[in-house]
Structure 1
Amino acid sequence: MEEKKYYILLYYCYTTIENPELFREEHHQLCLDLNLLGRIIVAGEGLNGTVSGLKADCQKYMDIVKADPRFETLEFKIDESDEHAFQKLNVRAKDEIVNSDFETVDPNKKTGIHLEPAEFKKLKDQEDVVLVDMRSNYEHSIGKFKGAITLDINNLRNLPEKMHELEEFKNKKVITYCTGGIKCEKASAFLLEKGFENVYQLHGGIIKYGIEEGGEDFEGKCYVFDNRVAVDVNKVNPKVISKCYVCGTISDHMVNCADTVCNRHTAICESCMEKMEGCCSEECKNSPTKREWNMDGYYPKELNGYNPYKDAKRLRKAESQS
């Protein structure tokens, strides 16, 4: 088998960044220099990203980031690929590295007990343990841990209004999990703040558990935020749990509806993809905003002349004047 030439990196780190906008510019330029593509969020509370690039370029990136004392605890989740997993580079400065609006929560001060994948595997099936999925609806619809509690949420901002659904588990050991671990840093801290005493989190998330422990008992696929859309993580006892949105048959073919207005994230089997021309309903199929569809059901945003060097101009000008 031919060796794959690219890495896909997933990572985050809660740490203090004094000047997020300046760091964003410098980090943006670093990624340009290394020919990396992907999405990175910078905030005063830390760094969150997923990028792809040639293996040598990704290794340089990891070495440079880890050499910064602020990111010495950062862990990279690494997957291999035949090509880039993104169309462009987007490095943004925001108020938070994961949206929550939990103003009193600081993962650097208080969070749930981190469980390494091997520890999680031993603990997850005990009688006094409950697993809680902290991801969005469309993510856990295609895959989740066996027996896990899922919440009807679009993002972490919705967690407070769903807390009543978790009240019955206050006397249990609650283990939160998400894709890479970042949401659980805040979610587990929020649970502690609301009176839950025995709170844990899967360190490194589903992705790390799949890499280190084979993904046992993760049913379905794991939704990821790149061209792959969803990936297999369970090499031990895989099971498909999602159903075609159109006909209800078992399917893990995760797509976007071909109608640009709808753009629903859901599973649609290949038979229905052909019959419905990539759409999730007759209404979408007949919509004037339906795009040219494909069987992959993945439609990257139009670049519209996007120039990744545009955001680097100010930094280059400052360097030339210094």
Structure 2
Amino acid sequence: MNTTPNLSPSLESEPLPYRVLLYYCFTPIEDPTALRNEQHALCIELNLRGRIIVASEGLNGTVSGTIADCEAYMERVSQDPRFKGIDFKIEGAQGHTFRKINVRVKEEIVHAGLPHLKPYQKTGKHLTPAEFKSLMQNDPNVVVVDMRSNYEHNLGKFKNALTFDMENFRELPEHLAEIEHLKDKKILTYCTGGIKCEKATALLLEAGFQDVYQLHGGIIKYGAEAGGEDFEGKCYVFDGRVAVDVNQVNPTILTECYVCGTKSDNMVNCANPTCNRHTVICQTCLENLDGGCSIECKTHPEKRPYDGSGKYERVSNGYNPEIGFRQQARELRKSKEETH
């Protein structure tokens, strides 16, 4: 059984040794803890790294690994009847884009603060990248709405898209009044990989919007299948790459260097951990300031060594991948004791 999705032309013509998988599936999960343990063991077995969230409403993950390991993972997950038809967005990479595997059980697979909404019951109409592009470019009754946070859409967004001034997705309900007057329009929503739009369009339908659509597979799939046309800037991603190119047709740069104001899309963190400003700084300024965002940060006694990238690993939150196996072992022993 071959469940590997078609790779984009860029992956076929310039093969890279690793893959980054972005995926989700809204489906009822009776025992999230059991699924969490299954996913954890599978990723350890296949040497995958990344972040996976399991909840009673489904599965959401971003992982990296070798081509063979990622193909094995996709096949194993797709064989689970609960995830039949799951859509994997695939990108090439030079190596792992995460340090370790982190699998957690949470109330929602996307932190929206809307656990009552079940996208597998009701959500906006899915559009392929080609359908989204056609409506966006040719239908005058269409309004394109970005469902991402400020730091994401400030780096890149679709041309003429409406954005919300929000720090995180949980704030979305507070901003619906801003588009209340557009209820007679076709609302085209989009996000990075599609998952936020599942909840966002369900919320719009609940609020009385009638003609609601979502870009299936999000910006990542649009870039791979539609060339990224009319997406301005770069797409923010939640792994070690921070930002990726999307538009192969008419690319532009939206952002400016925080230090000098020149056009740049080099998203970094300040090397001073007490500042840790997450912003755009051009390579020249970054080198002049030795990874800092100011003279003060350059000379700060706690400044991290600048390695040329401007990207620093997050401080560990104490998650230990082996804890999952110890938990599984205890549960298996307990189960055996109860049956004997």
TM range (shorter): over 0.9
* Partner amino acid, structure 2, of 1:27: Q
How is 1:155-304 mapped onto 2 (pairs within 5 angstroms)?
A: 155-302=168-315
For each residue in 1:43-90, what CA deviation from the matched residue of structure 2 results, as whole angstroms up to 9, or x when unmatched? Answer: 010000000111111111111100001000310011112211111110
1:26/1:315 contact within 8 Å kept = no
- Measure the CA separation in 2 of the matches of 1:61 and 1:316: 23
Q: In 2 relative to 1, CA 144–84 (structure 1 residues): closer, same or farther, beyond 3 Å?
A: same
Q: In 2 relative to 1, CA 184–305 (structure 1 residues): closer, same or farther, beyond 3 Å?
A: closer
How is 1:16-165 mapped onto 2 (pairs within 5 angstroms)?
A: 16-125=28-137, 126-165=139-178
For each residue in 1:241-267, what CA deviation from the matched residue of structure 2 results, as whole angstroms up to 9, or x when unmatched? Answer: 111112221101111122223322211
* Partner amino acid, structure 2, of 1:89: I
Q: In 2 relative to 1, CA 58–160 (structure 1 residues): closer, same or farther, beyond 3 Å?
A: same
Instruction: State the secondary structure of the residue aligned to 1:160.
Output: helix
2:187/2:213 contact within 8 Å kept = yes
- Measure the CA separation in 2 of the matches of 1:133 and 1:33: 37
Which structure 1 residue ranges, 5 or more long, are not aligned?
none
2:15/2:92 contact within 8 Å kept = no
2:19/2:90 contact within 8 Å kept = yes
Which structure 2 residue ranges, 5 or more long, are not aligned?
1-12
TM-fit CA distance, 1:210: 0.7
- Measure the CA separation in 2 of the matches of 1:2 and 1:99: 35
The worse-fitting range, judged by mean Cα deviation, of 293-302 and 151-160 is: 293-302
Instruction: State the secondary structure of the residue aligned to 1:98.
Output: coil
TM-fit CA distance, 1:120: 0.4
Q: In 2 relative to 1, CA 10–304 (structure 1 residues): closer, same or farther, beyond 3 Å?
A: closer
* Partner amino acid, structure 1, of 2:40: H
Give me the CA root mean square deviation. Answer: 1.9
TM-fit CA distance, 1:284: 3.6
- Measure the CA separation in 2 of the matches of 1:108 and 1:5: 35
For each residue in 1:227-283, what CA deviation from the matched residue of structure 2 results, as whole angstroms up to 9, or x when unmatched? Answer: 111111111111111111122211011111222233222111112212333233445
Instruction: State the secondary structure of the residue aligned to 1:201.
Output: strand
Aligned residues: 322
TM-fit CA distance, 1:305: 8.8
TM-score, L = length of structure 2: 0.89
TM-fit CA distance, 1:6: 1.2
